[in-house]
Amino acid sequence: MFKNVIVRVPSKTISEGLTSADEGKPIYSKALMQHENYVSALTKTGVNVTVLEPKDEFPDACFVEDVALCTSKCAIITRPGAMSRRKEAALPDMLEALENFYEHIEYIKEPGTIEAGDIMMVGDHFYIGLSERTNQAGADQMIQILESYGLSGQAVEMKEMLHLKTGLAYLENNNLLVAGEFKTAPEFEKFNKIEIDMDEAYGANCIWMNDYVIVPEGYPKVQEKIEALGYKVLVVDTSEFRKIDGGLSCLSLRF
């Protein structure tokens, strides 16, 4: 069960965020409203939410998931692969927030790069996608740190998605949403795979929160499949964040 969540309010510069999507620039006022609704949905799942102030010098800083991995034993500060995001990982308020909850904080060091959007937690095991943002050195360091705390990890080759969790979401109870290249990935054979069609692939980025599943708005087939598994569903519009390659999981650290 999750007890705590850390989020960061989007900044006025959000329209300058990194993007590979061709959907126009996010509108700040809309992004702000969508973020408030997201926090409200998180609160409904019974967690305590820590809200950090916006950082105008970092347009992507609302995507807090990428800068730290929160495990049951320690927090690990990442080293983002995107150069413009590298200093986000060292922001003092994030470190302070993590220190409130964690006695042990570890760091990924050069030449490793890793963004936690590439890491999917399944119990005490962590799948780490090798992407344009996460390299082998980063994955190796992460696995070494995890193992030192009695946890485990493995690297997953990937070719198409921006981040591992762009096309995967673990919903506990062995249920795994899979889209695109992950439908046939051998690493995920043993899961009960719920396959998501490419036209709703963005909807595969859901989050399980204490028996609820938060689902992005506008993906009815995804929502239907999750409801059919018996989960309580909360729907949140993240369309402004989609414009800068962001999804539901990117917007929070959950532990």
Write down how long the chain is. 255
- Give the torsion through C-alpha atoms of 45, 97, 101, 213, to 10 deg: 20
80's tokens: 């983002």
Active-site residue identified among 62, 70, 74, 250: 250
22's tokens: 């061709």
Residue 41: what are its φ and ψ, rounded to 5°?
A: -65, -40
Active-site residue identified among 70, 74, 163, 206: 163
Is 104 one of the catalytic residues? no
How far apart are the two ends of the chain, measured CA to CA in Å? 8
State whether the Cα torsion 80-165-147-95 is positive or negative.
positive
Residue 22: what are its φ and ψ, rounded to 5°?
A: -110, 65
Is 250 one of the catalytic residues? yes
DSSP state, 58?
Answer: -
Which residues are part of the catalytic machinery?
163, 250
